[in-house]
Amino acid sequence: MMTKVTLRNLMAHKVRLLLTGVAVLLGVAFVAGTLMFTDTMSKQFDDLFSSVGKNVAVDVRAKKVTGGDDDGQNAQPIPASLVDKLKAVDGVKTAEGQVSGYAAVVGRDGKLIGGSGPPQLGVNWTGDDGATRLSSGRAPNGPGEVLLDEETAKKAHYRVGDSVKIIVAGPPQTMRITGLVHTGNMMGATITSFDTATAQRLLLKPGQFSEIQLGSDGVSEQVLRDRVATQLPSGLEAITGTKMRAENKSDVEAFLGFFRTFFLAFALIAVFVGAFIIFNTFSMLVAQRTRELALLRAIGAARRQVTRAVIGEAIAVGIVGSTLGIAVGAGLAVALQRFVGGGGLVFTARTAIVSYLVGTIVTVVSAYFPARRAAKIPPVAAMRDDVALPQRSLRIRLVLGAVLTALGAVLIGLGLGGSASSGTGNAVLVGAGAFAVFIGVTMLAPLISVPVIKVLGWPFAKVLRVPGRLAQQNALRNPRRTASTAAALMIGLALITTVNVLGASIRASVNSQIDDQFGADYLISSSGLGGIDPATVTAITKVPGVKTAARQYDGNAVIAGKKVGYIAADMPTLAKAARLKITSGSDDPGRDGILLDAPTAKARGVAVGSVLPVTFADGKTLPLKVKGVYDESGMVGPRIVSEEAHLAHTARPVVSFVAVDTGGSTAPKAGLDKAVAANPALKVQDQADLKDEVGKQVDGLISFITILLVLSVIIAAVGVINTIALSVVERTREIGLLRAIGMGRRQLRRMIRAESIVIAVFGALLGMGIGIGFGTSLQQALADDGLNILSIPYGSLVTYLIVAAVIGVLAALWPAWRAGRMDVLRAISTE
């Protein structure tokens, strides 16, 4: 019998439950789409790496000493003479030297393909290897010839025979395309291939290789590795081909793992918001069917049966919503696949199981408490007209809400203060604290709603008169329902506000640092990894009006046992350009010195005159004397190493940027632009340009995160529609009486719209208040790391408040239209 009751109730409330299902659908779609996309990419890379170097038994490479860019400019190169030596090792069948480095393709529009995003890799062409194959044209043979991968050629509209400009860590090269290479899905990476001699000259050094790959003549990988290892000079190591392929795969898996976690976090936020909508909807549906459920109890239905009937409806909604969510998620994954390129979609049993579990469990848990309340209705209540669900005292909510909010604040404080032993542990503390705050504020919201809604409803009462006063009273009639509806909107806007406060604070802090620390007139830098070639540096120094041009290099080293980054620069010229404030010692590290900022020197317990052992990327260790200590600087970082030491221990040093002093004159700007014109990766920026670039980068990131969080706001909007629509049904007789005593349809619709706006704006204010608190806490916690200025983006917050009001208007359109079309006599006669 109860199964029939469940099915009948589902059919009787199709539209309401459909709107509830939308909340499930959107959350599950994000989960399913993320899992399908990452599974697809993982399989494609599995296939790629299983073919890359599949015949390689042993890989010889430089030891990874510093943990930085050991495979690039800082890595120790391998002399080509070692190839012949390794060929003679017993068990070696083939020995092939490999060259890799930075090489970017310039499109026909004069811009780099891929910009500063996906990797831009140059290699030496050694023939088809299973993962890459020549699809058209011929192999390069000479200094002016190059191969492009098919995707890059397609993006740039290049064909075989065309001329193309290639940007490397040196002067730009104009070359002819002799062929195209099929590489499979490389997620936007560009691959350029040269003959070996050209690759060595452009990417590394003549007569040098990045690594040597060996094939086996029937000997196991482990045995061959051990034999090869005995022939290697210091600084080099031999690993098995299996380990090489596993490391390549793990690097991609780490990225995909981050990608998966990042997007699943937003999916869970959407699911969390959806839970409020589901809870609210089932609470209202159960409240409207109180007499019906009491009658079921009166004719013999047990409490468990009533609970099961409501839970059955929730399961049906969860299954249908999850099924549709998986379908929408597949579309989302396909769209992402088309954006990055690739083959067919991978749909695993795990994706289906996780999606159904998420959708169904969240729906059932959200509906459980309304179901429990419904089962507690006494059978005798069916005889009464004013039967209502039992309500608990708000005092309990007040105590629990206050405790949870306080506990959440403490956990957030502990996490931001670094109380846990690891970064992951601190992140868990912050996440748990935020969750507790959201639940706590949600429990307190019914108490908060009464005074706030009185204030928000006051303008409507004054302007709209009777409809406005009724709208205010309707929002106050059930504080729990109003608070639950507003809480869904609160969560999304709280997170959006937090992100915007952080973004505004980052911009303000960076702009302050530029004002305080940027003493040069212009900064010349590269958008790629090629840096600024020596010829261009020389041209910059010769531009009329340029007084000084301070060059800077970036490097990695092991200092006192810790892997760190450093800069090496033309000091003390850079000290002036960066307005470096020396607190002790000199601003010149000389040939064998190092400069440290004050916090780093204090943390290491060193001072001017102390000696630090510094191990460079080539494996050599030098004792560098601390020559000076300076105030913390975001422009140069915590360590400045002797330029001579860096150049002596770096295989292919690259100038990262040049700080130019023109004495305040703007006249040399045209000359500087001309000096770098041959390389589109280089840009000339003054202080205003730097601020603008940082602002665009921050705005881009904030906009991206905000767009992802908008999904939770959309779900919250669905919740407002649900609440208003169900409220209209609940007040059918009341609406009929209002119409009977003279309220017009237009007035009725205004009343419903005003009520919707008040609820939406209340949720927005609650969310923005929490968001400002979260954002301020994060800024204060990061103040010592450079985020020293708190900035509240009031303009954005006002915009979000207006958007919330618009959401309220849109959410009320359908319920208001339906209320206006009610038959007055039928509405009055409704029980």
Q: E-assigned strands of 151-189?
A: 163-168, 173-182
Residue 76: helix, strand or coil by DSSP?
A: coil
Alpha carbons 136 and 143: distance in angstroms, whole number: 20
How many Cβ atoms from other residues are within 10 Å of residue 561's Cβ?
7
Q: List the domain boundaries for the chain.
A: 55-242, 446-517+687-831, 522-685
pLDDT tens column, 683-721: 999 888 988 988 888 888 888 888 888 878 888 888 788
User: In the predicted model, is pLDDT for residue 342 greater than 60?
Assistant: no
- At residue 423, does pLDDT exceed 70? no
How many angstroms separate the CA atoms of 31 and 322, rounded?
10
Percent of the chain whose predicted confidence (pLDDT) is above 70: 88
Provide the CA 26 distance to its chain's centre, in angstroms: 19
- The predicted-structure confidence for 616-645, as pLDDT tens digits, reads as follows 888 888 999 999 999 988 888 899 999 999
Structure tokens, 242: 């299996």
Return the pLDDT at 165: 94
Q: List the one residue out of 367, 356, 354 whose CA is nearest residue 314.
A: 367
> Whose structure tokens read 């289906």?
352
3-state helix, strand, coil in the chain (%, to 5): 60, 15, 25
Query: 70 pLDDT band (50/70/90 cuts)?
Result: very low
Report how far residue 344's alpha carbon sits from residue 346's, in angstroms, rounded to the nearest whole number.
7
251: which 2 tokens? 């690097």
Reported as type and span, the H/E element at residue 51 is: helix 14-51
Average pLDDT over residues 500-527: 88
Which of the four pLDDT bands, split at 50, 70 and 90, describes residue 72? Answer: very low
Contacts 24+ apart (CB under 8 A), 153-157: 153/177, 153/180, 155/107, 155/113, 156/105, 156/107, 156/108, 156/113, 157/107, 157/108
Angle (deg, nearest 10), helices 732-740 and 687-730:
80
Distance (Å, rounded) from C-alpha 689 to C-alpha 97? 43
Residue 422's pLDDT band (cuts 50, 70, 90): low
Question: DSSP letters along 404-434, please?
Answer: HHHHHHHHHHHHHTT-SSSHHHHHHHHHHHH
- Report cis status (omega within 30 of 0) of the bond before 171: no
- The contacts found for 6-9 with CB under 8 angstroms, 24 or more apart, are 6/309, 6/312, 6/313, 6/316, 9/289, 9/309, 9/313
What are the Cα distances from residue 184, in Å, to 137, 250, 329?
18, 18, 24
Distance CA 476, CA 461 (A): 13
* Confidence (pLDDT) at 71: 42
Residue 200's contacts (CB-CB under 8 Å, 6 or more residues apart) are 80, 99, 124, 206, 207, 208, 209
Tokens of residue 535, six digits: 């010829």
On average, the pLDDT of the chain sits at 84
Residue type at 28? V
Sorted by sequence, the CB contacts under 8 Å of residue 538 that are 6+ apart come out as: none
What confidence tier does 48 reach under pLDDT thresholds 50, 70, 90?
low
Does the pLDDT at position 24 exceed 90? no
| pLDDT of 738 higher than 90 | no
Asked if 711 and 26 touch (Cβ cutoff 8 Å), the reply is: yes
pTM over 0.85: no
Of 752, 753, 762, the closest CA to residue 729 belongs to 752
pLDDT above 90 (res 424): no
**Placement of tokens 């929730």 in the chain:** 314
The reported pLDDT for the residue numbered 185 is 63
pLDDT at 163 over 70: yes
Residue 782 pLDDT exceeds 90:
no
The whole-angstrom separation of Cα 113 and Cα 107 is: 6
- Residue 539 has, within 13 A of its CA and on its CB side, a CA count of 17
Comparison of pLDDT for 54 and 683, the residue scoring more: 683
Q: How far apart are CA 786 and CA 645, in angstroms?
A: 29
pLDDT tens-digit profile of 201-236? 999 889 999 999 999 988 999 999 999 999 998 888
pLDDT confidence tier of residue 597, bands split at 50, 70 and 90: very high
Q: Are 36 and 333 in contact (CB under 8 A)?
A: yes
Question: Which of 637, 686, 639, 659 has its CA nearest to residue 786?
Answer: 637
DSSP string, 532-596: B-HHHHHHHHTSTT--EEEEEEEEEEEETTEEEEEEEESTTHHHHHTT--EEEE-S--TTTEEEE
Question: So what's the pLDDT on residue 37?
Answer: 84
Q: State the burial class of residue 16 (Cβ atoms within 10 Å of its Cβ: 0-12, 13-18, 19+).
A: buried
pLDDT of residue 209: 93
Mean pLDDT of 179-206: 86
Segment 567-591 shows an average pLDDT of 89
User: What's the first-to-final CA gap in the chain, in angstroms?
Assistant: 25
- The reported pLDDT for the residue numbered 596 is 94
